[in-house]
Amino acid sequence: MFNKSKPLFFEVPQYLLDLIPYPPGKPLEELEREYGIKNAIKLASNENLLGPSSKAREAISNAVSSLHRYPDGSGYYLKGKLADMLGISSEEIVLGNGSNELIDFLIRVFIRPGYEAISSNPSFLVYYKMVQAAGGINVVLPLSDYHHDLENIASAVTPKTRLIFLDNPNNPTGTIIHHKDFDAFLKDLPDHLLIVLDEAYIEFVKAEHTIKAVECMKLDKRVVALRTFSKAYGLAGLRVGYGVMDKEVAQYLERVRQPFNVNTLAQIGAVAALDDHQHLKKTVDAVWQGINFLTEKLEKLGCRVMPSEANFVLVDIGTNAETVYEKMLREGVIVRAMTAYGLPNHIRITVGLPEENIRCIESLNKVLNT
């Protein structure tokens, strides 16, 4: 028998040893138990404030009896519905276990040790971590006044650059890319790389001057659009997202995709959610009411609030965010301290229901003033 105290003989590369895993949050019930609190509210993960659509729930319940079957590995109906909605062909769509998996596919296909991926800081942390996990070189550039600095990004491109990640709106700032800036940016870029426009929050955007990734992709083969059902569609727990890209790029991604990466309930729920226009509209309206409410109240508390086009706000609270986060947690209000994003005085608040937003403001007021 193998002796337990004997070391194993495998080599883990240094870039993996250096990688800090994405910090998982504890289940709400555990936090309540640990902190002795009740009725905690979670405004930390940019989830849908209204929950899943009733159409999706019904479709999922009806599909439970077929769970002994494998999922449709081609995602036939979901891709077909998306293709109709977006005016593209099914071959230009790749489905993923959340849009996170599309990020993973892109990195697995295009990044290997020695190749570079450009992203911004602060921005969605997963780009950075997955590039590092693949042994790629992260070129991380600061935002300029809370926006992606496209000029700086363009000048950082080298012959080794393969991917540029731009989330629009950006998480955690909620800021968007102006289409004029993007057009100028695209013109200067070479053709040995892909520009990945991550539109996880695009359904919330009101400003008309921003880029539409799918339209850009129709004109330019280098553009990849990523979308998700986790935010405006309220299906984060099902894990379903998609990428829209040139057919050739899609075929490369299909090579690394597991045959049944998007489960049956996720596919069926997503198709039904696309039909639930009312739920989408209610969600977006409620988010904007919440943004306006939170912005007004937070500014009255003396905080600086970034103008957001997503379902969260980034707030400069002018003091240590970790301490404030801990104190709010003890009150049963869970927000996100932005320390890991290099913003030690900022918290990010996901827009909640009206009563949750009120509670959040009351809690922050108490914490900042005691």
The answer to whether residue 75 forms part of the interface with ligand PLP (CB under 6 A) is no
Residue with tokens 């990640």: 165
Biggest CA-to-CA distance, the chain: 67
Q: Which range in 49-57, 94-102, 216-224, 255-263 contacts ligand PLP by CB under 6 A?
A: 94-102
Helix%, strand%, coil% for the chain, nearest 5: 45, 15, 40
Orientation of helix 264-275 relative to helix 76-86, angle to 10°? 30
The answer to whether residue 350 forms part of the interface with ligand PLP (CB under 6 A) is no
Q: What is the pattern of x (binds ligand PLP, CB under 6 A) and - over residues 1-40?
A: ----------------------------------------
The smaller minimum CB distance to ligand PLP, of residues 142 and 302, is found at 142
**Cβ at position 271, least distance to ligand PLP in Å:** 16
In 3D, which of 268, 256, 210 has the Cα closest to residue 59? 268
- Strands 241-244 and 93-96, how do they pair? antiparallel
Task: Find residue 95's DSSP bridge partners.
Answer: 242
DSSP state of 241: E
The smaller minimum CB distance to ligand PLP, of residues 167 and 309, is found at 167
The smaller minimum CB distance to ligand PLP, of residues 164 and 361, is found at 164
Closest residue to ligand PLP, Cβ-based? 98
Residues between 121 and 150 that touch ligand PLP (CB under 6 A)? 124
The answer to whether residue 47 forms part of the interface with ligand PLP (CB under 6 A) is no
The smaller minimum CB distance to ligand PLP, of residues 111 and 361, is found at 111
Sheet of strand 241-244: strand arrangement: 93-96, 241-244, 223-228, 194-198, 161-167, 116-121, 137-142
C-alpha to C-alpha distance for 295 and 299, rounded to whole angstroms:
6
The answer to whether residue 53 forms part of the interface with ligand PLP (CB under 6 A) is no
**Cβ at position 20, least distance to ligand PLP in Å:** 18
C-alpha to C-alpha distance for 55 and 61, rounded to whole angstroms:
10
Q: Which range in 35-43, 95-103, 276-284, 328-336 contacts ligand PLP by CB under 6 A?
A: 95-103
For 20, the token pair is 């800090």
Using CB under 6 A, pick the residue from 41, 43, 44, 46 that binds ligand PLP: 46
Q: Is 64 helix (H, G, I), strand (E, B) or coil?
A: helix
| R_g of the chain computed on alpha carbons | 21
C-alpha to C-alpha distance for 17 and 187, rounded to whole angstroms:
38
Using CB under 6 A, pick the residue from 100, 119, 210, 261 that binds ligand PLP: 100
**Cβ at position 281, least distance to ligand PLP in Å:** 21
For 348, the token pair is 């990010």
The answer to whether residue 241 forms part of the interface with ligand PLP (CB under 6 A) is yes
**Cβ at position 11, least distance to ligand PLP in Å:** 30
CB 322 within 8 A of CB 339: yes
The answer to whether residue 230 forms part of the interface with ligand PLP (CB under 6 A) is yes
CB 227 within 8 A of CB 202: yes
**Cβ at position 171, least distance to ligand PLP in Å:** 4
The smaller minimum CB distance to ligand PLP, of residues 121 and 365, is found at 121
C-alpha to C-alpha distance for 224 and 199, rounded to whole angstroms:
10
Contact residues for ligand PLP, defined by CB under 6 A: 46, 98-100, 124, 167, 171, 198, 200, 228, 230, 236, 241
